[in-house]
Structure 1
């Protein structure tokens, strides 16, 4: 569960690979020198890129730079989840992009990707469509399609930098604590009362040392992280049509008013507003159901 270097293999004669991994219950906190473009589609999930830990709803499109540690985006997701991952050879920027003056914007994009870039709106929709198309193209056409995708990303204003500082692997190499153990503890206990003294003991640290370590790794206190995790789980239950009151206690809060307040702080919406916006009942054969990716695809 410690941070790992992923060894990526490419087909001979190809500058990149595009595939659909599924890890889900595997905690894969890793890095690699290859720049990576990831599209993930799920009801709700958590992204952990560098020091940024944040949530996404429905889907996310991310460009992750060379040697930036990140967690697999389907980790811990209990609902349906789909991913598309595109990884470029380590030499892609140096050999293909840098020598071509017309690729100046793409060069700047790839050089900035060490911050972790999340794309939204029409940019995300367009890029995902093009990723689906190049899956079935020959080597040359798929490379041309990738350049087009990178140009779209380079020109986009629908982008958010996830980190404000360099979090490439050199920053994390001294980490001897198993973040996976901490994640697993939180996942197993978020609906109860996660105890900072207990998890500190599990990873063989004093409580003050654990708190310093955790804050350094995540830019969050342990309590803030647990509450963030609870809010993300709450979104999942809301989208499964649980009532706000049920969800409040289901994810470990003891006060409905505090749950409502914290949910709005994290999402900008109350739980009721979030559910009204994202939960969409539909009528199937005279019965009320819920729109899922499966039913949506069959429409």
Structure 2
């Protein structure tokens, strides 16, 4: 069975007064994370994984970076190939941390912002002990010291700033992700999606694929099948779920489900019991 991790606007519950978190995702299956974004800072650390990473309209092979930096609000997508490796995801809830350490204000004082820091970093020395500290301690003093050191090193390698075109492209992607989240069960057409950004159908298709690594229809289908998985877990019938996801043909739904997930909807439902 393939693994699909879908979160349109990613939400993370942090423990009270612990505004940082670490989590491990093992890549025991082909894993797809369709385009999404979050309000938090995300650092994804590569431990011998393979695949393709898209952040803010930029692309990199997973193997070429030690870690990936995702600022808040930046649309990103991942496609991992099955392997023995894993990723560690560090999250920083920077807004509540402002009363102790205002990361954005410190960067601004040095002429930087979160948006101009590099997305793909090959040098493991930039991380230093950040991952270890996130796992090891609840000490605010120690964690804030590690976070401040990390951003000092990130600023040191930010050799060029991203232009407004990149920022506008991410804003467009985020707006489209939000719209698709609210409309994916109603079978939006390519023309409708393109009109959200004021693009022609053909230009939209090329632009979306270049920015995310997937076609818009492929992305839309991932959202719908992920929703189908959620509904099947609730015990709804395959036919009910088919129509609830916006599909009109149960045979096509079953075929697409098996293509994306790796098993039929019925087998998937049985595996969740």
What is the TM-score normalised by the length of structure 2?
0.55
Find 1:6's aligned residue among 5, 10, 24: 10
Find 2:56's aligned residue among 31, 40, 50: 50
Q: CA deviation at 1:139?
A: 2.3
For each residue in 1:150-172, what CA deviation from the matched residue of structure 2 results, as whole angstroms up to 9, or x when unmatched?
Answer: 22222235789699511445543
Distance 1:19 1:108, change over 3 A: farther
2:84 aligned with 1:80: yes
- Cα RMSD between the aligned structures? 4.2
Q: Distance in 2 between matches of 1:212 and 1:172?
A: 18
Distance 1:172 1:215, change over 3 A: farther
Correspondence for 1:211: 202
Aligned length: 194
Q: CA deviation at 1:116?
A: 5.6
Correspondence for 2:23: 19
Retained in 1: the 8 A contact 2:7–2:36? yes
1:60-139 equivalence runs, <5 A: 60-71=66-77, 73=78, 75-92=79-96, 94-98=98-102, 103-104=106-107, 109=112, 111-113=113-115, 117-121=119-123, 124-127=124-127, 129-139=129-139
Q: Distance in 2 between matches of 1:96 and 1:17?
A: 17
Q: Distance in 2 between matches of 1:38 and 1:173?
A: 24
Q: Distance in 1 between matches of 2:51 and 2:164?
A: 18
Retained in 2: the 8 A contact 1:97–1:107? no
Correspondence for 1:37: 43
Distance 1:48 1:163, change over 3 A: farther
Q: Which has the higher contact order (CA 8 A, sep 6+)?
A: 2
Greater alpha carbon shift after TM alignment, 26-35 vs 5-14: 26-35
Q: CA deviation at 1:93?
A: 6.7
For each residue in 1:157-196, what CA deviation from the matched residue of structure 2 results, as whole angstroms up to 9, or x when unmatched?
Answer: 5789699511445543235669xx9xxxxxxxxxxxxxxx
Correspondence for 1:149: 150
What is the TM-score normalised by the length of structure 1?
0.51
Distance 1:49 1:162, change over 3 A: farther
Q: Distance in 2 between matches of 1:148 and 1:174?
A: 35
Q: CA deviation at 1:37?
A: 1.7
Retained in 2: the 8 A contact 1:39–1:85? yes
1:229-244 equivalence runs, <5 A: none
Q: CA deviation at 1:60?
A: 3.2
Partner SS, residue 204 of structure 2: helix
Correspondence for 2:225: none
